[in-house]
Amino acid sequence: MNKESLLKKAYDPNTFRQKGHELVNQLADLLAHTQNRKGKVTNPKPPEELLKFWKSHSVQGSHDLFQNVIDQSTKVHHPKYIGHQVSVPVPVSALSNLLSGLLNNGMGIYEMGEGATAIEKIVVDIFCDHIGYKGGGGVFTSGGTLANLTGLLAARASYKEKKIWTEGTSDQYCIMVSEMAHYCVDRAVRIMGWGENGIIKVPVNDGFSMDTLALSSLYDKATKDGKKVLAIVGSAPCTATGSYDDLHAIADFCKDQKLWFHVDGAHGGPAIFSKKYNYLMSGAERADSVVIDAHKMMLTPALTTALLFKRKDDSYHTFIQDAYYLWEGQEDREWYNLARRTFECTKVMMAVRVFTIIKEYGIKIFDEYVTRQYNLAREFAEVLEQSDDFELAIFPDSNIVCFRYIPNYQSNNQEDISELNRKIRKDIFQKGDFYLVQTQQNDDLYLRVSLMNPLTTMDDLKEVLDEIRVYSREELT
Ligand SMILES: *Cc1c(COP(=O)(O)O)cnc(C)c1O
């Protein structure tokens, strides 16, 4: 076959139609299967085995390839998926992924992705509205990690000595953040070149929230050491235990010291949509910037992240340098030329995923979802509290619950308890009926669940507890 005929074949509309229907059928079958709690959540195989599998030429064509990828993936749509904080995408939102995948508009400049650019502004405005920003604005960007870095770059750009972007600096800048914060905040600081001295870790209280009473002395010490404190990052919530920082307390401190206040609401920012739980985000309206992942608690595929600013102009300061070939020297701040304000040049049409859900089901779906998951976590915590063989790390703020198994016949040696829980978690993963993860708090290991799946019920969770009891007995005999 010559080259031309291959290309012609690859773009044939009828083949696409047929393969598209096939894939949708495969995925709909997966949904039906998992929602009926059939099959496993995980089916772990050693990496070398899968490498060998894919290097062999046993897989032919896209249908076979898709099916094998489905089979070799963790099934987030299975109600017994209670692992990492990735969303369980609403199927119609995954279709919008296919839409943007085929249209493939770059969205850096308005000409490329006009409709999706207007949609992005509407969705950004909805977020700002629910945060309580008046005159706010922002952008969508590729993930919470990048959004936090971008927010901190904006903070740096609006610092009183704004010249770092053009002149660089040898001054020691720093930010303050809870020791429980997501590691990407630490990473952002190091990317900005401030080193380990650029991050001041604020201790947490018994509830794993930032001890805001410690801010004042840490700030004074940093200033005395010649550091320039630029911002405080609040976690809403922190990843490990799902505990929200006291955003008002941080806002008060930032106001007094004239610091930038950034809220990392990657996981729990969508509480703004819950009438019952929006109090957890209270104080975010006083923050200068807020990050919210839609691919965690807003039912979209990854990566879909909103970076919101209280003053919309701040988002135009982040990357001051001009790419003249894109903007031809235009002076005014055009909301619709997005690459000016985002790290990405070519950007995926990601806000369409959120807007698709809103158009299909109304914005109330986010209230229903967040409220349901946060309620379920509280009910689960109560069951754990009432049992005499489980220990809760902390009563949950969000849909993340950390706990461990301490059977009556177990010694009280903390190392033994951690070791037992580590083994239990490994056994569960290998067997694949549930998927949960683990977290280390001080020296203790806890089992950790994120209740992401809207079909997970209390009965599912009680089954996990029973399974843990069985595994424990097997481990100890
Ligand atoms: C998940 C998470 C991040 C990182 O976001 P990505 O979208 O995975 O890059 C940052 N902060 C918190 C609190 C998170 O939960």
- The predicted-structure confidence for 54-105, as pLDDT tens digits, reads as follows 999 888 899 999 999 999 999 999 999 999 999 999 999 999 999 999 999 9
Measured between alpha carbons, how far is residue 321 from residues 157, 263, 327 in Å?
Answer: 12, 26, 11
Per-residue pLDDT reduced to its tens digit, 107-132: 889 999 999 999 999 999 999 999 99
Per-residue pLDDT reduced to its tens digit, 451-469: 999 999 999 999 999 999 9
Contacts of 413 (CB under 8 A, 6+ apart): none
Cα 292 to middle of ligand 1, angstroms: 9
Measured between alpha carbons, how far is residue 309 from residues 291, 317, 318 in Å?
Answer: 9, 11, 11
Residue whose CB lies within 8 A of the most ligand 1 atoms, among 86, 152, 210, 239, for a mutation test: 239
Cα(26)–Cα(262) distance, integer angstroms: 42
Cα 145 to middle of ligand 1, angstroms: 6
Percent of the chain at pLDDT > 70 equals: 95
Asked whether 241 lines ligand 1 (CB < 6 A), one says no
Contacts of 352 (CB under 8 A, 6+ apart): 96, 99, 100, 116, 119
239 CA: nearest ligand 1 atom:
15
Confidence label for 329 from pLDDT (cuts 50, 70 and 90): very low
Residue 252 has pLDDT above 80, yes or no: yes
- pLDDT at residue 392, as a whole number: 96
Cα(475)–Cα(326) distance, integer angstroms: 63
How does strand 228-235 pair with strand 260-264? parallel
Cα 154 to middle of ligand 1, angstroms: 18
Cα 4 to middle of ligand 1, angstroms: 44
- pLDDT at residue 327, as a whole number: 45
Residue 375 has pLDDT above 60, yes or no: yes
Cα(182)–Cα(264) distance, integer angstroms: 9
Average pLDDT of the residues in 376-384: 98
Asked whether 42 lines ligand 1 (CB < 6 A), one says no
Asked whether 120 lines ligand 1 (CB < 6 A), one says no
Cα(291)–Cα(148) distance, integer angstroms: 7
Asked whether 267 lines ligand 1 (CB < 6 A), one says yes
Asked whether 181 lines ligand 1 (CB < 6 A), one says no
Integer-rounded Cα Rg, in Å, for the chain is 24
Cα 175 to middle of ligand 1, angstroms: 18
148 CA: nearest ligand 1 atom:
10
Average pLDDT of the residues in 148-175: 88
- Output the average pLDDT for the chain: 93
Which residue has the CA at smallest separation from atom 3 of ligand 1?
Answer: 144
- pLDDT at residue 318, as a whole number: 87
- pLDDT at residue 325, as a whole number: 45
Asked whether 143 lines ligand 1 (CB < 6 A), one says yes
The tokens of 406 are what? 């301490």
Residue 361 has pLDDT above 70, yes or no: yes
303 CA: nearest ligand 1 atom:
7
Average pLDDT of the residues in 229-237: 98
Cα 405 to middle of ligand 1, angstroms: 28
CA count, 13 A, side-chain hemisphere, 44 = 11
Cα 291 to middle of ligand 1, angstroms: 9
Contacts of 274 (CB under 8 A, 6+ apart): 366, 367, 370, 371, 374
Average pLDDT of the residues in 412-427: 89
Quote the pTM value: 0.95
Residue 373 has pLDDT above 70, yes or no: yes
Cα 30 to middle of ligand 1, angstroms: 27
Asked whether 234 lines ligand 1 (CB < 6 A), one says no
Per-residue pLDDT reduced to its tens digit, 285-312: 999 999 999 999 999 999 999 999 999 8
- pLDDT at residue 335, as a whole number: 87
Asked whether 264 lines ligand 1 (CB < 6 A), one says yes
Give the chain's domains with CATH numbers: 15-75 (no CATH), 99-364 (3.40.640.10), 366-476 (3.90.1150.170)
Lowest-pLDDT choice from 11-15, 357-361, 389-393, 442-446 = 442-446
Which residue has the CA at smallest separation from atom 5 of ligand 1?
Answer: 144
- pLDDT at residue 317, as a whole number: 82
Confidence label for 409 from pLDDT (cuts 50, 70 and 90): low
Residue 332 has pLDDT above 50, yes or no: yes
Asked whether 235 lines ligand 1 (CB < 6 A), one says yes
Cα 55 to middle of ligand 1, angstroms: 33
- pLDDT at residue 166, as a whole number: 83
Asked whether 266 lines ligand 1 (CB < 6 A), one says yes
Residue whose CB lies within 8 A of the most ligand 1 atoms, among 177, 182, 186, 292, for a mutation test: 182
Confidence label for 316 from pLDDT (cuts 50, 70 and 90): confident
